[in-house]
Structure 1
Amino acid sequence: MKNILCLLAVFSLYTAASSQNSLLGKITSTNNNQPVSATVYLPQLEKGTVSDLNGNYEMKNIPDGNYNVIFSSMGFATLSIKISFSNNQIIDKNVQLEESAVEMEQVIVSTPFHKLQSDNVMKVERVSTEELNFSGAVTLADGIKNIAGVDLITTGTGIGKPVIRGLSSNRVLTYAQGVRLENQQFGDEHGLGINEAGIESVEVIKGPASLLYGSDALGGVLYLNPERFAISGETHSDLNSTYFSNTLGTVTNLGVKTSGDKVKFLARGTYATFSDYKTGAAYRVTNTRFNESDLKTGIQYLGTTFKSTVRYNYNRSNIGIAEEIGAQSQSKDLELPFQEIDNHILSLDNTFFFNKSSVDLKIGYLFNDRREFEDESSVAALRLKLNTLNYDLKYNLPQWGQLEAIVGLQGMFQNNKNEGEEILIPDANTTDIGLLGTAHYHLNKVDLQAGLRFDSRKIESQAARNPADEDFIPALDKTFTNFTGAVGAKIDLYQNFSTRINLASGFRAPNLAELTSNGEHEGTNRYEKGNPNLKNEQNFQTDISFEYRNKHVEFFANGFYNAVNDYIFISPTDEMVDESQVFEYLQQDASLFGGEFGFHLHPHPLDWLHLESSFETVTGKLENEKYLPLIPANSLRNTFRVELHDGVIRKSSAAFITLENTFDQNNISDFETKTAGYSLLSAGIESSFQLPQVKLKVGLTATNLTDKDYISHLSRFKSDGILNIGRSINATLKVEL
């Protein structure tokens, strides 16, 4: 082992001494050959620069290898070029960008080959957190429900759990800082546990992504891209604050980042506090108040042989547990009962560059400490500690012509421990390991992608409580294995018209709650009994999408059919324990089908005007023709938006008005009630101003403008007849240095 390390050290020193490539050139417009100020970015290296007023750019110290180089500028179509660097090359690359009214494309990080969405075989939705905040979102989870095909199971304004095409909980995997987020996500009353500050964008894979991420990605992936480091040689700081009138809430964050040629650093701190939210009927929902503290920091080193990034995120959330409409208060002080949750995420992302290939190694350590206080605030009645170590090792093989391939090894070691009086799930260890291979082949009009994966998950839990008691939980030792695969194609049928066809299988091993529960689940007001005989869920999904875009209009149509074998669901029984109805976990084949359809009108030369419309629908049924629970209602969203850029002092302005129509939900499970439809109106305006040494951004957004009385079908307060949030006027101020 010592000899191998010595050889690696010698190799690294040799490569560092011999490989310092450079890229330079000029960026101009195809229309008039005038220089363009654009961003030049290498996503695999997280390295970039901006061309000057004459369109000239230069980047130095580029490691050997094949990299996608992205050229992007507002008002122009994003350009991606594959460039090979080796042996101290100085590559002179002049490019021309084509004017376009379509928003700048970004590189999709959640898929394996880091391509622009227009070049990607999988359809991935991507939205920036700036857009989510501008829509009036209270939290990160609240914002992502604006993405077509995505909804939210809510517990007031403080807790939201993503639903992708009707699937949620452990069927949707969340990634943050490049590592899988583990924070007891099995429960409906458990939120994401991560603040939107320091998150640059959100990517959503709508469909089975088990090939890329293993178990728990059967329904899709929510991929949170962290804030980028500053461009080399620059230092920036900013202060951002938002006020929410409905909850009298404030969110304030402060960030700073600085970068040299090889070492980069950033840090961001956030504090948010909210009182009980007010409904359209003018009453406040008692004890829905919450507060949150968040710290994100990172440091990166980029050499000529490797890149290393360390990031750390600490989040403390204090969330009230609403039980009934009681005393009306605008106080932000916590009242019993409440949750207190600590999340720690430490990630190490290393890339080792070779002449024609590279190795990516990501290691994550996560610690989740969940405490629930019921009768007193000094002793937690329920306390769960979850320690997780996960790893992701991928080898990017040398490119052979137009063929790219990746092989990888992924795994996880996890320990769950109880330290409270109540036991929700037993002490347990979980061990995952997965092997995968995937390849992408590019032809002139067709892109093909395929892959295969094998996974094994071992769950070992300890016995809990007294064997003589009815709520005794016996020990468990089970192993779940599975093969998954995927194949897809993107085809350019005609000019501006393309289609994507994806066939993918996924799987999910049953979680601890489904296997071992035996007791009162306070957060859901029911007694739950697990089933140790549950098998893997296995699905096969077909996705077909069509897209058309030109300088005036874009159309899209996405359809899917998802067949899930041995779907796990909870069902009520006739049994009662201590006045609580008993629910048990069962399995039955199920299917989900539906899609998203829409268009985007931006008539040239009125490129500042945008009219967007989207419709989404999903239906879920069991094999016996009964409907699945927690399926979102059909909805139609229409947005009128204007964007103005390139003023002298006022650099940009934007305004929107949105009408969202949610239809009746009559397709319900045995223990649900029907939900009436409703319409919500929202609007907003913002502008940014460039002053000497300072950039200001001010914004004003109003949500539920008509103060509508409504209940979302996915609200956990629905069974108690408690309304969702009413009108809120939100004001934002951002100062950048």
Structure 2
Amino acid sequence: MRFTFLLISILLTLSHHQISAQSTPNYRINGIVLDESGEPLMATILIHELGTGTSANLDGQFTLKNLRPGNYHLHVSHLGYKSLTETVIIENSDINLKWQMEPSAITLQSLTIEANPFKNGPVEQSQTIDVIDRDFIERNNSGTFSNALEKLPGISTINTGVGISKPVIRGMSSNRIQVNDRGIKQEGQQWGADHGLEIDPFDVDRVEIVKGPASLIYGSDGMSGVINISPAPLPINGNINGHLINSYQTNNNMRSHSAMVEGNQNGFIFKGRLTFQDYQDYRVPADEYTYAGFVLPVYENRLKNTAGKERHFSIMTGIRKNWGKSTLTVSRFGQQAGIFTGAVGIPNSYNLQHNGDYSNIELPNQDNSHLKVISNTTIQLGKNWLEMDLAYQRNERLEKSLPHAHGINSSDQGNLALALYLNTYTANFRYNRQINNKQQAIIGFQSSIMDNQFGGFEFLLPKFQSKSAGLFYFHEYRLLDNFIINAGLRMDIAKHQIDAHSQPVYSSAGEPTGNEVLRNPDIDRNYANMSGSTGLSWIISNKSNIKFNLGSSYRIPSPIELSTNGIHHGNFRHELGNSSLKSERSFQGDLNFTYSKHNLLIGFSPYLAYYLGYIYLSPTAKFSTLPGAGTLWEYRQNNAIFSGGEAKIHWAITPELQTNLVAEYVYSHNLDTNLPLPLTPPASVLAGVEWALPYKKTWLPNSNFFMEYRQVAAQNRVDRNERVTKGYGLLEAGIGTEFTLGQQILKFRISGKNLLNAYYFNHMSRYRLLNLPEQGRNINISLKIPFEIKNP
């Protein structure tokens, strides 16, 4: 009912603005785009608020028509040049503009930044933001969205096999980083390390990673960073196009097929996508592993029951007019994946044998689905803009296993060991006000309601309902032409209502005794907190820029941290919550220095964060008393320090030959135990080279070759009872090209990961706890077929 009421309110508002727009005068923005020497450029010009734009003609000239009086943020981009952003204020006449773009051989500098709340340029905003586009994601696709981000400095992943992964920013994950899809926080993946991001990697057009404190704008879960998944610009009016993508990975015989079509007919916009992925048990460079002192076989180098399949669809429709835009997106991500047989119960040589079908998804397994209904609306109010995001999410997670593996002879739940059903309702509002040429402000409101139910013969997390609301104000002031400052305050309230739960007790023979044990008590907690931040950007010259941010934010303990008490089989451990946990408070500082010219980019980003009451899951020296469980891990709370930094160098030796070097380091320290915090990613260095093959005017245009090598240091700084991990090196290379078949353009790419078939352990991998190495050599072959149905 709440969601329906909000949708009706939006429709009434849109109707009012559509009627009033008929009597509002319309104006134009005329302009010309030139290079440094004054030659015209056929650049792309987009209006952020309307999600549409145009391209300059052969003379570099463009016109944006039918614009109402108001404030607009224009993004200008052209391959081979640094992007530009300008705020334009239309009052009672047409606007005439002239831009000169600075050349850059570094491709990513042509991408604009929109994650900045004020939508201004990359040097004006004060936060450290990395931007990647669809080409980057397609080149680095490993089957999951999270793994495609690992090439960026400060980003790593927590993996469970090859089909499940979740992102880590500067050593933090789950509820300390926020993943937004079309402005809505993705819910469900915070329940554990084996709960990956349920996002189709083929359905991502643009990603912006905000590193450092971002809680003020995005909420308390943005304490360490935010990953914004943004839709592509709306199609040009009268255009209908799409593409087909097919890929194959040799290691686990993964077959991926994705089809997309989108269009714009007189302001009516639509987009649809359908994706299928199927994969078999994956291969490792080992024929045995050691667990609990026993040497166990890995038959034919394949981990039994790690096959899976994914099905995804998304449909978007909406309207784009001169008063704004409104879209409605419905998507569903479904995944069925096996859980390695040795993860539940006691592994032995017999149950590790294959049955000859490497595609079979046996017990134990997980069946996940994530349904999202998202409404995004931008409306012009006077000269300013109101943004509204409404959403409903339904996350279902089913874990299936044989009851006897859990010390139970039979169950009326059948093989359903655990079920989690999470419903989430979200409403976000932001009013963007351009005060004058020097000042901008944002007033925002965010709210959510989460309701969790559970089932199955096992227990991990009780029923709960969580409500939260936040109000913030953010202000930016251009003190000088080259010196911009910002500051803001935020107030949040939240409430957790968690039900008590008692679980049946079974005898040693697996029969119910008729007794029950209390697994968690009733918990009713209220929270209220204030947070604030300030930042600056000093544009020293047109080549160098310094940014600095200070912030104090908070995070309330999640229901799983307060009340979990059960075996998390995907993590191979018994996890125990703590109902006395208090809110975390952090004090963070973040510095970013960038030097950039047309063929060189140097960046350095150190950071320091002090946490009061940092909540973390720590291994103990105890074994769980529950059947089939391993060690006991407990949620604890201590004061802690996180620090480190990222450095990157991108050098275009020639326009065709480019090199890059990325280094990252995370340091964590528990101030109460005087030990490192668990699961801290090790330091790493990634070096790469890319060569655009000199076949520009032959039958193989736009061909390129790349090679990268990552060296990961040993992780010897570990918490008590946590294992150390040895260092390792990985080699990756690939080649891509375009060719035509008749009139059809085809884009072909072949690449290989872990080409040396290295035997190594990823410190952030869940299977490391079983002494299982990571995936061996993997060759990825992909073919993309773009098509056009209608051209204006």
CA offset at residue 453 of structure 1? Answer: 0.3
Tell me the distance in 2 between the aligned counterparts of 1:59 and 1:25: 9
Deviations along 1:13-61, whole A, 9 cap, x unmatched?
Answer: 2333324333333333332x33322211112211022223343333323
Tell me the distance in 2 between the aligned counterparts of 1:366 and 1:647: 49
Tell me the distance in 1 between the aligned counterparts of 2:66 and 2:328: 21
Deviations along 1:698-732, whole A, 9 cap, x unmatched?
Answer: 11101111111111111111121111011111111
Aligned residues: 733
**Is the CA contact (8 Å cut-off) linking 1:229 and 1:266 kept in structure 2?**
no
Q: 2:172 maps to what in 1?
A: 167
**Alignment pair present for 1:451 and 2:492:** no
CA offset at residue 466 of structure 1? Answer: 5.8
Tell me the distance in 2 between the aligned counterparts of 1:144 and 1:540: 27
Closer, same or farther: CA 350–495 of 1 in aligned 2, 3 Å? closer
Task: State the AA in 2 paired with 1:409.
Answer: F
Closer, same or farther: CA 379–574 of 1 in aligned 2, 3 Å? closer
1:594-633 matched pairs, under 5 angstroms: 594-603=644-653, 606-623=654-671, 624-633=673-682
Comparing 201-210 with 57-66, greater Cα deviation is found at 57-66
CA offset at residue 306 of structure 1? Answer: 3.0
1:383 alignment partner, SS class: strand
Tell me the distance in 1 between the aligned counterparts of 2:252 and 2:18: 55
**Is the CA contact (8 Å cut-off) linking 1:129 and 1:196 kept in structure 2?**
no
Deviations along 1:571-591, whole A, 9 cap, x unmatched?
Answer: 315464136443322211011
Q: 1:570 maps to what in 2?
A: 617
2:688 to 639, 655, 666: 639
CA offset at residue 253 of structure 1? Answer: 0.3
1:396-545 matched pairs, under 5 angstroms: 396-442=432-478, 443-465=480-502, 469-545=516-592
**Alignment pair present for 1:20 and 2:56:** no
2:383 to 351, 356, 360: 356
Q: 1:178 maps to what in 2?
A: 183
CA offset at residue 534 of structure 1? Answer: 0.4
1:17 alignment partner, SS class: coil
CA offset at residue 494 of structure 1? Answer: 4.0
Tell me the distance in 2 between the aligned counterparts of 1:220 and 1:634: 19
Runs of 4+ in 1 over 4 A off after TM superposition: 1-12, 376-379, 644-651, 690-693
Deviations along 1:450-487, whole A, 9 cap, x unmatched?
Answer: 11101111000122126973343221110122111111
Closer, same or farther: CA 292–399 of 1 in aligned 2, 3 Å? same
CA offset at residue 175 of structure 1? Answer: 0.7
2:416 to 371, 380, 402: 380
**Is the CA contact (8 Å cut-off) linking 1:540 and 1:564 kept in structure 2?**
yes
Task: State the AA in 2 paired with 1:412.
Answer: S
**Is the CA contact (8 Å cut-off) linking 1:198 and 1:227 kept in structure 2?**
no
5+ residue gaps, structure 2, are 288-300, 404-412, 505-514, 788-792
**Is the CA contact (8 Å cut-off) linking 2:757 and 2:777 kept in structure 1?**
yes
Q: 2:142 maps to what in 1?
A: 137
Closer, same or farther: CA 255–529 of 1 in aligned 2, 3 Å? same
Comparing 367-376 with 287-296, greater Cα deviation is found at 367-376
Closer, same or farther: CA 64–302 of 1 in aligned 2, 3 Å? farther
CA offset at residue 621 of structure 1? Answer: 1.0
Q: 1:313 maps to what in 2?
A: 331
2:147 alignment partner, SS class: helix
CA offset at residue 423 of structure 1? Answer: 2.5
Deviations along 1:266-310, whole A, 9 cap, x unmatched?
Answer: 111100111111112361122221211111221121122231111
**Is the CA contact (8 Å cut-off) linking 2:52 and 2:235 kept in structure 1?**
no
**Is the CA contact (8 Å cut-off) linking 1:22 and 1:90 kept in structure 2?**
yes
CA offset at residue 690 of structure 1? Answer: 5.5
Closer, same or farther: CA 137–523 of 1 in aligned 2, 3 Å? closer
CA offset at residue 5 of structure 1? Answer: 10
1:243 to 235, 244, 248: 248
Q: 1:97 maps to what in 2?
A: 101
CA offset at residue 335 of structure 1? Answer: 1.0
**Alignment pair present for 1:724 and 2:774:** yes
Deviations along 1:214-238, whole A, 9 cap, x unmatched?
Answer: 1222221121123443222211121
Deviations along 1:484-525, whole A, 9 cap, x unmatched?
Answer: 111111112345122111111222111111111223333333
CA offset at residue 561 of structure 1? Answer: 0.7
5+ residue gaps, structure 1, are none
Closer, same or farther: CA 332–565 of 1 in aligned 2, 3 Å? same
Task: State the AA in 2 paired with 1:533.
Answer: S
Task: State the AA in 2 paired with 1:249.
Answer: M
Comparing 324-333 with 444-453, greater Cα deviation is found at 324-333
Q: 1:345 maps to what in 2?
A: 372
Tell me the distance in 2 between the aligned counterparts of 1:330 and 1:19: 68
Percent identical: 28
Task: State the AA in 1 paired with 2:523.
Answer: L
2:641 to 582, 586, 591: 591
Tell me the distance in 2 between the aligned counterparts of 1:365 and 1:448: 36
**Is the CA contact (8 Å cut-off) linking 1:102 and 1:551 kept in structure 2?**
yes
Q: 2:790 maps to what in 1?
A: none
**Is the CA contact (8 Å cut-off) linking 1:28 and 1:34 kept in structure 2?**
yes
**Is the CA contact (8 Å cut-off) linking 1:618 and 1:632 kept in structure 2?**
yes
Tell me the distance in 1 between the aligned counterparts of 2:13 and 2:550: 44
1:130 alignment partner, SS class: helix
Q: 2:509 maps to what in 1?
A: none
Task: Give me the TM-score of the superposition, normalised by structure 2.
Answer: 0.88
Task: State the AA in 2 paired with 1:501.
Answer: F
Closer, same or farther: CA 6–113 of 1 in aligned 2, 3 Å? closer
2:594 to 544, 547, 557: 547
CA offset at residue 354 of structure 1? Answer: 2.6
Tell me the distance in 2 between the aligned counterparts of 1:116 and 1:686: 31
Task: State the AA in 1 paired with 2:396.
Answer: D
CA offset at residue 688 of structure 1? Answer: 2.3
**Is the CA contact (8 Å cut-off) linking 2:560 and 2:577 kept in structure 1?**
yes
CA offset at residue 355 of structure 1? Answer: 3.0
1:665 to 715, 729, 733: 715
1:53-202 matched pairs, under 5 angstroms: 53-87=58-92, 89-103=93-107, 104-202=109-207
Closer, same or farther: CA 566–10 of 1 in aligned 2, 3 Å? closer
CA offset at residue 397 of structure 1? Answer: 1.8
Task: State the AA in 1 paired with 2:27.
Answer: N
Tell me the distance in 2 between the aligned counterparts of 1:440 and 1:679: 44
2:721 alignment partner, SS class: coil
2:749 alignment partner, SS class: strand
Closer, same or farther: CA 586–77 of 1 in aligned 2, 3 Å? closer
Task: State the AA in 2 paired with 1:327.
Answer: Q
CA offset at residue 11 of structure 1? Answer: 6.0
**Is the CA contact (8 Å cut-off) linking 1:441 and 1:449 kept in structure 2?**
yes
Comparing 59-68 with 504-513, greater Cα deviation is found at 59-68
CA offset at residue 378 of structure 1? Answer: 7.1
1:113 alignment partner, SS class: coil
**Is the CA contact (8 Å cut-off) linking 1:275 and 1:288 kept in structure 2?**
yes
1:213 to 213, 218, 237: 218
Tell me the distance in 1 between the aligned counterparts of 2:360 and 2:745: 35
Tell me the distance in 2 between the aligned counterparts of 1:718 and 1:63: 58
Tell me the distance in 1 between the aligned counterparts of 2:699 and 2:74: 31
Q: 2:314 maps to what in 1?
A: 296
Task: State the AA in 2 paired with 1:401.
Answer: N
**Is the CA contact (8 Å cut-off) linking 1:170 and 1:186 kept in structure 2?**
no
Tell me the distance in 1 between the aligned counterparts of 2:216 and 2:762: 33
1:93 alignment partner, SS class: strand
1:212 alignment partner, SS class: helix
Task: Give me the TM-score of the superposition, normalised by structure 1.
Answer: 0.95
1:254 to 248, 255, 259: 259
1:142 alignment partner, SS class: helix
Tell me the distance in 1 between the aligned counterparts of 2:437 and 2:599: 36
**Is the CA contact (8 Å cut-off) linking 1:16 and 1:303 kept in structure 2?**
no
2:434 alignment partner, SS class: coil
Closer, same or farther: CA 193–364 of 1 in aligned 2, 3 Å? same
